[in-house]
Amino acid sequence: MTIQVSQRHDSAVKQVCGEAVYIDDMPEPQGTLHAYIAQSHLAHAKILSCDLSGVIAQPGVVAVLTLDDIPGSHDISCAHADDEPLFAKRYVQFAGQALFAVVAESVDAARRASKFANIQFEELPAILTIDQAMEKQSFIHAPRRVRRGDPDRALSHSPHRLKGRISTGGQEHFYLESQISLALPGEDDEVLIFCSTQNPSEIQNICARMLDLPDAAVKVHVRRMGGAFGGKETQATQFAAIAALGARKTGRPVKMRLDRDDDMRLTGKRHAFVIDYDVGFDDSGRILGIKFQQKVRCGYATDLSGAVADRGVFHCDNAYFLENVSVESFRCRTNTVSDTAFRGFGTPQGMIGIERAMLDIAHHLAMDPLEVRKRNLYDPVRAQTHYGQSVENFILPELIDQLAQTSNYQQRRSEIQEFNSTNAVFRKGIALTPVMMGICFSRTHLNQAGALINIYKDGSISLNHGGTEMGQGLFVKVAQIVAHEFGVSVDRVRITATNTEKVPNTSPTASSAGVDLNGMAARDATQKLKRRLAETAVRHYGGTIDQVRFEDGHVHVGAHSISFSKLVELAYLDRVSLSATGFFKTPEIHFDQQAFQGRPFLYFAYGAAFAEVLVETLTGE
């Protein structure tokens, strides 16, 4: 029987010792050039003229990249919305937008040269806030409206009714490794891109489209990232594209690495939300009807904002049954950097609206907020969401009760009330809050993954899949799955970098689905190889396929036992293929985007958190 042991992250020791290789640690190929992006200082302006002759004349400059150098598509939008040019066209649309890139012998030379551009602008009015966008009706998509029951009637007949607003700001991903790509030109116009990205296939596709090449001519390689948190799902594309374009124009390797300040100006943040709510409830705190307006700051371009805003709509209920509910979601276009994926992907923002309403209800009724929350939870009878998905395996009531007990919630709440009654400057707060998060990409076609497993003659195993490693331990988790299936030690499984040549058409590593998708794809490949090895064992030792067991580094068939390595050697001598691809697509999911009904998630992840905080009311600390 295979013994399960705690497994350290595959890069942990290398990271602690400084031996883990990130792109900026790689020895630069001979002749490597460096790119620097010149940025707009205006949020919204028309470009009247652009003279870059002074830039190209500066020492160390090899090339200046503009839209005129692009042989293919100017658009780098993941949504193919044609609203995100590699460099600004006739207009700049946010402060920090890329105008052109300088390719030079050093990044310092490129940065200095960029100051010699002579660009004339006509400044235009800018839309910077959600309220301004709502006033101007400036949207990237038409508003989304979802409704169940009759919330207007429920509100008008409720014994109690409250209205409120809560807003959430943006947030910087602040990954330790900033955005970086290194592009190497190859034969026959091929390009190899080393990139810090969660989405290698998208980098491949967009860079190929830009260079007017087939996807197969662009190869993307990702061993690890120094953090991402969503910030490298789509927004690594611009920097990979600039590096690739520079390599194409100069015939030399080009590195595009952002300093921290440039990274923070050029890349999108968590979407800011403004949520207005109107809630009706009874004397027990149970919600009878509720209406939400979610206003989302998207920035100047589409990016992933539609999907992020949809997540806010999906999770406006958090873990609560809303019998009569309506949600209006406004996707506001502003003259700010295009906001993008961020851990939770709109889910936290969607949940915070209903949680604010819960607190208002509790305050109005002078009740414990935890009791209000518990009375509104889904139950076996009221177990369908406003978008039509059944809520299964709902464990939150038991989980909440357990956490309330182990955290001494009631006792601590009493102690806090006593503390607050005698302190004017320092105040304590307490909360126990549930979470119900749907797991899957909300765009159904993204719920697929591939893997490649090679077994070598000595019994060692090479594992490759479409997932990317950003510190979350995906690689070692999938390696553990493979080792478990083969009944061998995880040390026998060699982890290899994500590479578009090995596994094509991959989905991004995101949406909390990396292990679900890639682990199952790898398992599918192991099943094919185990079948071939089992057939080999039966040929040599008799018995039947269903008698073959893989465990403890051996393969058992009937009374016979053979080491895994020995069986692999026999299979090779029998001319059995020891390489297999695996594939997985998430079952059971389906969703009608227009009706906003279906089953977008395979399952829900449930959790609850207890928090106690001390606030200094004079400073907010």
pLDDT over 60 at 483, yes or no: yes
**Best CA proximity match to 146, nearest among 600, 596, 593:** 596
Domains detected in the chain: 27-124+193-264 (3.90.1170.50), 130-171+269-441+596-616 (3.30.365.10), 448-585 (3.30.365.10)
Residue 499: which H helix or E strand, with range?
strand 498-499
Phi, psi of 477 (to 5 degrees): -65, -45
Return d(Cα 316, Cα 270) in angstroms, integer: 17
pLDDT tens, position by position, 28-51 = 999 999 999 999 999 999 999 999
Return d(Cα 29, Cα 202) in angstroms, integer: 25
Residue type, 292: F
Return d(Cα 146, Cα 161) in angstroms, integer: 21
Helices of type H across 68-217:
107-114, 130-136, 151-156, 200-211
Return d(Cα 519, Cα 535) in angstroms, integer: 24
The CB density around residue 615, as the number of other CB atoms within 10 Å, is 13
For CA atoms 558, 562, 564, 566, the dihedral sign is: negative
What was the pLDDT predicted at 7?
87
The mean of the pLDDT values for the chain is 96
- Strand, helix or coil for residue 448: strand
Q: What's the average model confidence in pLDDT over 580-594?
A: 96
The CB density around residue 176, as the number of other CB atoms within 10 Å, is 9
Structure letter (DSSP) for residue 491: G
To the nearest 10 degrees (0 to 180), the angle between helices 200-211 and 237-250 is 40
Return d(Cα 312, Cα 442) in angstroms, integer: 11
**Best CA proximity match to 391, nearest among 399, 400, 381:** 381
Would you state the structure tokens that stand for residue 281, as one six-digit string? 């409830």
Q: 93: number of CA atoms within 13 Å, CB side? A: 17
What was the pLDDT predicted at 558?
85
Q: Which residues contact 166 (CB under 8 A, 6 or more apart)?
A: 274, 275, 277, 352, 353, 356
CB 427 within 8 A of CB 615: yes
pLDDT tens, position by position, 338-390 = 999 999 999 999 999 999 999 999 999 999 999 999 999 999 888 999 999 99
pLDDT tens, position by position, 260-295 = 999 999 999 999 999 999 999 999 999 999 999 999
**Best CA proximity match to 173, nearest among 227, 224, 122, 120:** 227
Q: What's the average model confidence in pLDDT over 310-315?
A: 98
What was the pLDDT predicted at 1?
45
Let me know how many helices (H) and strands (E) the chain has, helices first: 16, 27
Confidence bin at 170 (pLDDT 50/70/90) = very high
Structure letter (DSSP) for residue 270: P
What was the pLDDT predicted at 66?
98
Structure letter (DSSP) for residue 137: T
Q: Which residues pair with 164 in a beta bridge?
A: 277
